[in-house]
Amino acid sequence: MLDKSPQALTAAVAADAVRSGRSAERGVVYVYEAPVRLWHWINAAAILVLGLTGYFIGSGIPTMPGETSDDFLFGHIRFAHFFAGYVLTLGFLFRIYWAFMGNPHAKQIFYVPLWRKRYWREVWHEIRWYAFVAAEPKKYVAHNPLAQLAMFFMFTLAIAFMIVTGFALYAQGTGNDSWQYMLFGWVFSIWPNSQDLHTWHHLGLWMIVTFALIHIYTAVREDIVSRQSIVSSIISGEREFRD
Amino acid sequence: MGGAAETFYGVIRRQGITRRSFHKFCSLTATSLGLGPLAARQIANALETKPRVPVIWMHGLECTCCSESFIRSAHPLVKDVVLSMISLDYDALIMAAAGHQAEAILEETRAKYKGEYVLAVEGNPPLNEGGMFCIDGGKPFVEKLRAMAEDSMAIIAWGTCASWGCVQAAKPNPTGATPIDKVITNKPIIKVPGCPPIAEVMTALVTFITTFGKLPELDRQGRPKMFYSQRIHDKCYRRPHFDAGQFVEVWDDESARKGYCLYKMGCKGPTTYNACSAVRWNGGVSFPIQSGHGCFGCSEDGFWDKGSFYDRLTTIKQFGIEANADQIGMAAAGAVGLAVAAHAAVTAVKRLTLNRAE
Ligand code: HEM
Ligand code: HEM
């Protein structure tokens, strides 16, 4: 776990500046390495495609006029969904790999230190900050504790769930002898009637939409309010502390 | 009935069927099971040499639609199955014997063909109140089931009742109706779900077991792979309309008349494993989707409890009102969206007042 006291932060800024030859006065730390940033935007794009096509798969599209043999629209929508599903999955696997290979911040979205008293105190402070009770937010090099909580439960777990249920649904099309079924067929032991699986996968869509709403809002808001760079951090990788 | 030791071939020759017809039948059966050309000879050989398999057919809580379906089988004809291929030693519904005479057959079969007979169960046992909701021959059905299962070779669970529970096990299931595999755990069980199962699927399964003397390969849910490894959707003749995006929007609209896909009308073909779209019903005449109505998933687990038959997704009742995944999701996302907007507004106001104060 990273030490997040103000002294440690100053130390982090200084150490980072030494490593990259930057002036420590600007108060900049390199947080999100290039692979993480690249992954972030590919991931976001894949989820945009998955969400849209998934919604269309779930509710159907307005009936296409004309000859049946001329149209393959629903097929293309489903193909786009599966393609983006593969992109998302490969990206997620890469991100797990990078949790081990990257800097310490790269591990943050994969665990929550629920057992640490201090962590809960910090979460409480963040809640007070977002509830307009605390006057100043604490500064964090990577995600703040509340963000970490949301990232883990609403993103990491939710995406893992979508990948597992998604590939199980995919196995319905590829059949009992496919590798998708070998790997994910166990899902049908939990939900013997695949109708339930569709329903859960569908609910997952709304979980991710809710996460994206909160995520984008807080990212933009903190960027403006909290005196530290946020949105530009996931583009340049650097966290700047502005006072 | 009796005479289980006789071979199938012996029986049909006695009935005046020629050897030529016999071989025709074998080839047809091999084809309908999707087996290769050599299989016809194997089938013939088996039917000529193997003693017929004794079958005990029992009825628990059920509506007899499985039997009704079974007796309408066209390929093979049910009369061939019942009178020649197997030795149906006991079936309360269609046997001549009754009362003590009938019950005696059960004991006799148990003793004489220990570990060799197939127990076919239509319906399921209710377990509440010691099983008294289904009394058969003066005893709770569940006791009869346990006793006969004990010495059987394998059990066929006919229909959705025996496989999953079906309507009598639908919530709140007052009688405690329980599928066979939850009651008998030490025997191979073949689930043949459907309400009812397709006649040809039933007879073909029996043919397979008698011919090869072994059980067919089963999938994860215990269903024979040869009939239940694909969904209605996978073989549906309306599938091209699905891929093109041509859907029926309301009953009896232009699309319905054109025979477009019933996905939006809640057809459960995409989540239902059965052979309807391949084998069809009544000797291949039709199946629900062909008659213009969506599949409602009668061969799937708990199909009575998953909400409307006209909704592809499961109705979610945990919120007090009945809702679907989209309604709940949009409500949640909408609430969060409003909260975000309100939060943004408060943030803006605070910043403005702070700036003014400075
Ligand atoms: C953020 C991730 C994802 C979202 C938001 C999402 C969303 C959806 C939605 C809303 C549906 C419609 C469900 C229904 O009503 O039946 C769906 C279907 C499906 N999804 Fe996903 N999905 C995601 C990831 C994946 C992944 C990783 C795969 C794996 C390749 C996948 C494969 C499928 C399949 C096979 C279907 C069923 C298509 C059909 O029934 O024709 N999904 N998805
Ligand atoms: C316009 C769209 C988006 C913007 C502006 C944005 C912005 C950001 C920012 C600023 C961060 C860094 C947060 C921090 O510094 O604490 C971040 C991280 C992250 N974002 Fe986004 N994001 C967007 C879309 C998405 C979407 C659609 C998803 C997935 C549903 C997503 C998932 C994540 C995840 C998982 C991280 C953590 C990265 C890590 O620590 O490895 N983002 N995003």
pLDDT for B47 equals: 79
Q: Do A195 and B344 touch (CB under 8 A)?
A: no
pLDDT for B351 equals: 82
Q: Is B276 labeled as ligand-binding? A: yes
Angle at B295 between CA B292 and CA B296, to 5 degrees: 130
Whether residue A62 has a cis bond before it, omega within 30° of 0: no
Structure tokens belonging to residue B324: 């679907």
**Residue in A43, A48, A50 to alter for ligand 1 test, most ligand atoms within 8 A of Cβ:** A50
- Per DSSP bridges, beta strands A28-30 and A238-240 are antiparallel
**What does residue B316 show for φ and ψ, rounded to 5 degrees?**
-105, 120
Q: Report whether A212 contacts A198 (CB < 8 A).
A: no
User: Measuring CA to CA, which residue among B266, B318, B289 is closest to residue A58?
Assistant: B266
Q: Nearest Cβ partner of B333 from A74, A132, A210?
A: A210
- Measured between alpha carbons, how far is A119 from B353 in angstroms, rounded to an integer? 32
Scan for tokens 């149906």, then name that residue: B88
- Measured between alpha carbons, how far is B263 from B242 in angstroms, rounded to an integer? 7
Q: Where are the domains of chain B?
A: 8-227, 230-357
Q: Report whether B161 contacts B155 (CB < 8 A).
A: no
Q: At what angle do helices A194-225 and B325-357 cross, to 10 degrees?
A: 10
At the top level of CATH, which class does the domain B230-357 belong to? few secondary structures
Q: Please tell me the distance between residue A221's alpha carbon and the centre of ligand 2 in angstroms.
A: 13
Q: In chain A, what residues touch B249 (CB-CB under 8 Å)?
A: 63
Please determine, for residue A231, whether its predicted confidence score (pLDDT) is greater than 80: yes
Q: Report whether B315 contacts A198 (CB < 8 A).
A: no
Scan for tokens 């409890």, then name that residue: B305
Amino acid at A217: Y
Amino acid at A173: G
Structure tokens belonging to residue B185: 């755990």
Q: Does A111 touch chain B (CB under 8 A)?
A: no
- Measured between alpha carbons, how far is A122 from A134 in angstroms, rounded to an integer? 12
Scan for tokens 């230190």, then name that residue: A113
pLDDT for B358 equals: 63
pLDDT for A159 equals: 98
SS3 B61: strand
Q: For the domain covering B8-227, report its CATH number.
A: 3.40.50.700
Q: Please tell me the distance between residue B295's alpha carbon and the centre of ligand 1 in angstroms.
A: 21
DSSP-assigned letters across all residues of B251-271 = TTSHHHHHT-B-GGGT--GGG
Q: How confident is the model at residue A2 (pLDDT cuts 50, 70, 90)?
A: very low
CB-CB neighbours of A113 under 10 Å: 13
Structure tokens belonging to residue A68: 């049946």
Angle at B133 between CA B127 and CA B137, to 5 degrees: 105
CA B75 to chain centre: 19
Instruction: Report percent pLDDT > 90 for chain A.
Output: 66
Q: Report whether B11 contacts B84 (CB < 8 A).
A: yes
User: Measuring CA to CA, which residue among A110, A130, A207, A29 is closest to residue B328?
Assistant: A207
Residues B9-48 pLDDT 10s: 887 788 788 899 888 888 888 887 788 888 888 888 887 8
SS3 B189: strand
**Residue in A36, A129, A216 to alter for ligand 2 test, most ligand atoms within 8 A of Cβ:** A216
Question: Which residues are CB-neighbours of A96 under 8 A, at least 6 positions away?
Answer: A110
DSSP-assigned letters across all residues of A207-232 = HHHHHHHHHHHHHHHHHHHSSB--TT
CA distances to B95, B118, B215, B298 from B101, rounded to whole Å, are 11, 20, 31, 36
In B83-220, at which residue ranges do the beta strands (DSSP E only) sit? 86-91, 118-122, 135-136, 139-140, 154-158, 189-192
- Measured between alpha carbons, how far is B309 from B289 in angstroms, rounded to an integer? 13
Q: Nearest Cβ partner of A198 from B303, B312, B326?
A: B312
Please determine, for residue A179, whether its predicted confidence score (pLDDT) is greater than 80: yes
Please determine, for residue A12, whether its predicted confidence score (pLDDT) is greater than 80: no
Please determine, for residue A92, whether its predicted confidence score (pLDDT) is greater than 60: yes
ipTM over 0.85: yes
Residue of chain A with shortest Cα separation from B346: A132
Domains of chain A: 34-228 (1.20.950.20)
**What does residue B331 show for φ and ψ, rounded to 5 degrees?**
-60, -45
- Measured between alpha carbons, how far is B273 from A223 in angstroms, rounded to an integer? 52
Amino acid at A64: M
Residues A66-80 pLDDT 10s: 899 988 999 999 999
Across the range A76-87, mean pLDDT stands at 98
Given a cut of 50, the residues of chain B with pLDDT beneath it are 1-3
SS3 A179: helix
- Measured between alpha carbons, how far is B224 from B222 in angstroms, rounded to an integer? 7
- Measured between alpha carbons, how far is A190 from A186 in angstroms, rounded to an integer? 7
Please determine, for residue A108, whether its predicted confidence score (pLDDT) is greater than 80: yes
Q: Report whether B231 contacts B273 (CB < 8 A).
A: yes
- Per DSSP bridges, beta strands B86-91 and B135-136 are unpaired
Residues A111-168 pLDDT 10s: 999 899 999 999 999 999 888 888 887 888 889 999 999 999 999 999 999 999 999 9
